[in-house]
Amino acid sequence: MIKTAFRKLKNVIKLEIYKITWRKINSHNDTIVRNIFPIGKVSVGKKTYGALQISTYGNPDEKLTIGSYCSIGGEVKFVLGGEHSYKALSTYPFKKHVCGLKENTLTKGPIVLKDDVWIGERCLILSGVTIGQGVVVAAGSIVVKDIPPYAIYADGRIIKYRFSEDIIKRLMKFNFEYLSEETIKNNIDFLYTNLDIQMLDNIFSKNLLH
């Protein structure tokens, strides 16, 4: 009992120290961490917010890149690896659980979230996917394949796009990294206006995002 309690306290302390380290490195965004992971595997852009829960398994190709101005809902989980091979006799990890050896962990590749992505609550994002700029992922979704820019994704499929094809093409010229706090504050009402071609012309003329 005492050993278990001590181990739990030790883990809590380690996590709190890790959170401080994370904040020092990520002062340019508003993310927090829910667990400890190799800090070099994850990068987050400007002003992105949310709690990050990230599973890693030791594969050197595991990586998570999150862009600027992204919104990460509660209980979202990013799984960077842990894939089992299905081409041999069994999918069971015999090396680890029978032989006591290090398992050859697999990953489908990095997870990439482009700028302005909104991930709803309790989503599961698996390795090897790229979520395009401006995408909305509905709460409870499992993402196992790439999602194109400005799509709305739910129930394992794209249900619609946020804007017309013409607007999306023009939006892809924007770089959210250049959007400053001063610009946002000076144009806050403008930024909340429903978007159409005329609004895009105004945005370009104001040089807000490019």
Residue pointed to by tokens 């992922």: 137
**Three-state DSSP class for residue 169:** helix
Per the CB < 8 A criterion, the answer to whether 123 and 141 are in contact is yes
Rg (CA), the chain: 20
Alpha-carbon gap, residue 204 to 186, rounded angstroms? 15
Per the CB < 8 A criterion, the answer to whether 187 and 171 are in contact is no
> What's at 72, amino acid-wise?
I
Per-residue pLDDT of the chain (210 residues; tens, 9 = 90+): 777 777 888 889 999 999 999 999 999 999 999 999 999 999 999 999 999 999 999 999 999 999 999 999 999 999 999 999 899 999 999 999 999 998 888 999 999 999 999 999 999 999 999 999 999 999 999 999 999 999 999 989 999 999 999 999 989 988 898 888 888 888 888 888 888 888 887 777 766 655
pLDDT score of 34: 96
Residues whose CB falls within 8 Å of the CB of residue 72, separated by 6 or more in sequence, listed in order:
31, 48, 49, 50, 51, 52, 66, 119
Instruction: Give a three-class secondary structure readout of 44-81.
Output: ECCCCEEEEEEECCCCCCCCEEECCCCEECCCCEEECC
pLDDT score of 175: 87
